[in-house]
Amino acid sequence: MLKDARFQASAAKEGTFIAGYTVIADVGSTLIKLLRDQMTPEPVAQPELIGMASPADKGDLSLSLYLFNIKENGESRRTQMQPLGTGELQYPPLAINLHYLLTAHSAADMQSRTLDEHRMLGRALQLLHDHAVIRGPLLQGGLAESGEEIQIAVESIASDTLTGFWNFGDAPYKMSLVLRVGPVFLDSTRTRKASRVIEREIRLQDKDDN
């Protein structure tokens, strides 16, 4: 971690931002800010009732966001070395997708609990549809400094597959939304010296020559 922090500081001095290992946490913070800004006071009474937690360990939360899987995004893989402006080249970043469960939890009585949870999920679907791409002031942490944007998709998952994601012991399954966020780029801390051009050869040829 110390090496990664030193690399970020060095890059910052040269005007190049390095996202580093915080990017996964920054995505989570960005999603929570979006949900808190847009889903309170209706249908969720207070921002503090929306947070990161396992659905089985959600405490007093009304809406929990849980990162349950991370996969490499091969389609967005970058292969070119990135110049750092210091005579060094940075190795390509790792492109990943983050997968979340978004689950509603109502504290109402049994007769209205399900309807409350359906209202929260309906508002969340509406919100994520309108904010399929997040950029600008909503971005948190390193994402705000990097100028990147993140894309959110609500995945259509078969019911048996969705219940398979719900692996929380004896906790009964609750209807949840599956979110895919990405591609997110986790920058490499590896660099190498860039070779300098010390000699240039120019050949001129008459266009009439064969």
Between 162 and 5, residue with greater pLDDT: 162
The confidence band for 17, taking pLDDT boundaries of 50, 70 and 90, is very low
Least confident of 13-17, 125-129, 183-187: 13-17
pLDDT at 75: 73
The confidence band for 14, taking pLDDT boundaries of 50, 70 and 90, is very low
Question: For a pLDDT cut of 90, what percent of the chain falls above it?
Answer: 46
- Indicate left, alpha or beta for 169 from its phi (over 0: left) and psi (-120 to 50: alpha): left
Q: Which amino acid makes up residue 45?
A: A
| CA nearest neighbour of 42 among 17, 62, 15, 64 | 62
Between 3 and 176, residue with greater pLDDT: 176
pLDDT at 16: 37
Segments making up each domain of the chain, as ranges: 25-73+96-185
The 3-state DSSP class for residue 155 equals coil
Say if CB 152 and CB 184 are below 8 A apart: no
Q: What is the pTM of this model?
A: 0.79
pLDDT at 184 over 70: yes
pLDDT at 2: 37
- Where helices occur in 83-134 by DSSP H, the ranges are 110-130
pLDDT at 205 over 50: yes
pLDDT at 7: 40
Mean pLDDT of the chain: 83
Query: DSSP of 35-92, one letter per residue?
Result: HHHHHTTTTSS-GGGEEE--GGG-TT-SEEEEEEEEEE-GGG---S-EE-SSSEEEPP
pLDDT at 18 over 90: no
Between 148 and 35, residue with greater pLDDT: 35
| CA nearest neighbour of 157 among 113, 98, 99 | 99
Q: Which amino acid makes up residue 161?
A: T
H/E run at residue 184:
strand 176-186
- Cα(97)–Cα(102) distance, integer angstroms: 16
Say if CB 176 and CB 102 are below 8 A apart: yes
Average pLDDT value for residue range 154-180: 87
Over the stretch 107-165, which tens digit does the pLDDT of each residue have? Answer: 888 889 999 999 999 999 999 999 999 988 899 998 888 777 899 999 988 888 888 88
- Cα(194)–Cα(119) distance, integer angstroms: 56
